[in-house]
């Protein structure tokens, strides 16, 4: 066993702390450089992705706002168009009810209707039907023999409902002109309140389509004018088969309209399955909804191009940064490799020096410290004991009748005996700070820092008993086996100024042990 204070000369040959620290620091720098490079690249990628996502959301939101504004404008246009027709109907119904349903007033009304129709280009016609659905007056001047509209939805509605407000019916084809029209109608009553007929205004669907087609909504945009029961009144792009189709089960009616009269949404159309960004609004005063929508894929085309350009720029930047970082890290690794080779060469030289140093401080036969290391250790530990006021004890051990053992069994057996006893001594001193040394010949010494004479005596007895129990045969010994005698001494700074004083005291105790019959431990007085 040894102690750091004694191995200063050995440790001075170790790689210096600064060199090891530099090597560790160099390796850490490479790791930090790699981590920094990865962190920068990941951060740039994350920022680019985040910016791209924000740009996507902005594009969608911007188009939602645009569609909402467009829906509001189209709703105002629809409200204005229908309001003009409805105002005429209100005036017409009032006049008919005051003048009665006789034949005489209709000549003047016919002229009035024709004049009003010519003022409003969106009007297809103005009509009055009696309680049986027969044509009484029409603004077009058309003569349709035996014409009867009692089967039309608007006629049936007013016949069965006493409501005096306007009614927006489903889009139909005119029987007189075969054109698609929207119907706006009001009920006419007799003086007793019973059903007297219907006043009808029809509006060209082309009036709406002309406006809708003039709006740029891309290749797959759509504008819908829908009744509040979910029936399509008119749709752009126009398809006759879609007029009257119900979208009441679509997301617009099931999710959005129940909670709001206007808003924006993104969903797939139940008509053609295209996902669109949509703005919707109810038409003020009438049971209609206007929606304007852009194809989501077309909305995102511009965003995709911007994102692609950004991705290319970021990729080029990352590639340049990666190449630069790779080159830097490679140079740092090469420097570390060179430094490691230099340090390895230094360590080999240190190992050679260490071996030489150990040969100078270690007993070749027993592997214990030699006399030189023992002397250095004693000086160092006595100085430590004086400074820190801690205990220090010394054991001097001598093999009993060893000369007789050598004469009887030979020197080779004697050497083996010394090696066995050395091993026993090392096994019984476990602390790293303790030192076991071959003092000379068959004599050993054990230095116990931080130990008083009581603790030292206990260690001495452990060693003595262990040697005796080892049963090394010695027929010329009284015990029949090899035994040892031990002198125990605790350091006293007052009376022991030098290491020789402490050694001398332990030697005296050893002499007493040998003189008193051997195979015992004696504490110095």
Task: Name the 3-class secondary structure at 226.
Answer: strand
Distance between CA atoms of 12 and 1, rounded to whole angstroms? Answer: 19
Distance between CA atoms of 416 and 413, rounded to whole angstroms? Answer: 5
DSSP 330-358: HHHHHHHHHHHHHHHHHHHHHHHHHHHHH
CB 513 within 8 A of CB 520: yes
Interacting residues of 404 by C-beta distance below 8 A, sequence separation 6+: 474, 476, 477
Residue of 163, 131, 126 whose CA lies nearest to 150: 131
**Vertex 437: Cα angle to 431 and 443 (nearest 5):** 130
Per-residue tokens: 153: 């939805």
| Inter-CA distances, 240 with 212, 244, 404, Å | 16, 9, 131
CB-count exposure of residue 411 (10 Å: 0-12, 13-18, 19+): exposed
H helix intervals, 362-370? none
DSSP-derived secondary structure letter, 121 = T
Residues annotated as part of the active site: 442
Distance between CA atoms of 332 and 323, rounded to whole angstroms? Answer: 14
| Inter-CA distances, 503 with 43, 427, 506, Å | 71, 23, 5
Residue of 303, 305, 327, 323 whose CA lies nearest to 315: 323
Task: Name the 3-class secondary structure at 42.
Answer: helix
Q: Which helix (H) or strand (E) holds 125?
A: strand 123-130
Q: Beta partners for 199?
A: 128, 186
Distance between CA atoms of 48 and 188, rounded to whole angstroms? Answer: 67
CB 289 within 8 A of CB 74: no
Task: Tell how far CA 141 is from the center of its chain.
Answer: 76
H helix intervals, 100-185? 106-119, 153-160
Assign 3-class secondary structure to 492-505: CCCCCCCHHHHHHH
CB 391 within 8 A of CB 488: no
Q: Beta partners for 185?
A: 167, 200
Residue of 3, 12, 4 whose CA lies nearest to 357: 12
């Amino acid at each position: 066993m040894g102690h750091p204070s004694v191995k200063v000369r050995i440790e001075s040959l170790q790689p210096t702390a600064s060199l090891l620290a530099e090597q560790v620091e160099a390796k850490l720098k490479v790791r930090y450089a790699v981590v920094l490079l990865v962190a920068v690249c990941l951060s740039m990628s994350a920022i680019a992705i985040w910016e791209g996502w924000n740009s996507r959301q902005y594009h969608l939101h911007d188009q939602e706002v645009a569609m909402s504004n467009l829906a509001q404008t189209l709703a105002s246009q629809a409200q204005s168009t229908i309001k003009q027709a409805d105002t005429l109907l209100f005036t017409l119904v009032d006049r008919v009810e005051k003048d009665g349903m006789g034949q005489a007033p209709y000549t003047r009304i016919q002229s009035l209707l024709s004049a009003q129709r010519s003022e409003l280009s969106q009007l297809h016609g103005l009509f009055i039907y009696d309680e049986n659905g027969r044509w009484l007056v029409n603004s077009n001047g058309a003569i349709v023999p035996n014409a009867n509209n009692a089967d039309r939805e608007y006629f049936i509605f007013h016949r069965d409902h006493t409501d005096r407000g306007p009614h927006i019916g489903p889009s139909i084809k005119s029987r007189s002109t075969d054109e698609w029209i929207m119907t706006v109608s009001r009920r006419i009553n007799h003086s007793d309140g019973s059903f007297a007929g219907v006043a009808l205004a029809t509006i060209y669907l082309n009036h709406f389509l002309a406006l809708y087609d003039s709006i740029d909504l891309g290749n797959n945009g759509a504008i819908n004018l829908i009744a509040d029961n979910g029936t399509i009144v008119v749709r752009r792009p126009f398809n006759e088969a879609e007029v009257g189709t119900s979208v009441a089960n679509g997301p617009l009616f099931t999710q959005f309209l129940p909670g709001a009269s206007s808003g924006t949404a993104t969903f797939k159309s139940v008509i053609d399955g295209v996902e669109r960004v949509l703005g919707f609004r109810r038409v003020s005063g009438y049971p209609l909804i206007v929606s304007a929508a852009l194809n989501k894929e077309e909305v995102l085309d511009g965003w995709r191009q911007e994102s692609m350009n950004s991705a290319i720029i970021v990729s080029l930047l990352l590639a340049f940064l990666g190449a630069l970082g790779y080159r830097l890290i490679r140079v740092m690794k090469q420097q570390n490799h060179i430094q490691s080779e230099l340090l390895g060469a230094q360590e080999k030289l240190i190992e050679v020096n260490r071996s030489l140093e150990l040969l100078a401080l270690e007993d070749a036969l027993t592997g214990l410290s030699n006399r030189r290391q023992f002397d250095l250790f004693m000086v160092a530990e006595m100085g430590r004991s004086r400074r820190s006021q801690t205990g220090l004890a010394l054991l001097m051990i001598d093999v009993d009748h060893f000369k007789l053992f050598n004469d009887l069994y030979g020197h080779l057996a004697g050497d083996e005996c010394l090696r066995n006893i050395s091993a026993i001594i090392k096994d019984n001193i476990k602390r790293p700070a303790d030192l076991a040394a071959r003092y000379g010949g068959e004599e050993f010494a054990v230095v116990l820092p931080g130990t008083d004479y009581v603790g030292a005596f206990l260690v001495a007895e452990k060693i003595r008993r262990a040697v005796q129990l080892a049963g090394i045969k010695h027929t010329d010994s009284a015990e029949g086996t090899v035994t040892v005698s031990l002198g125990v001494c605790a350091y006293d700074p007052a009376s022991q100024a030098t290491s020789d004083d402490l050694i001398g005291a332990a030697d005296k105790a050893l002499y007493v042990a040998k003189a008193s019959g051997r195979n015992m431990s004696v504490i110095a007085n």
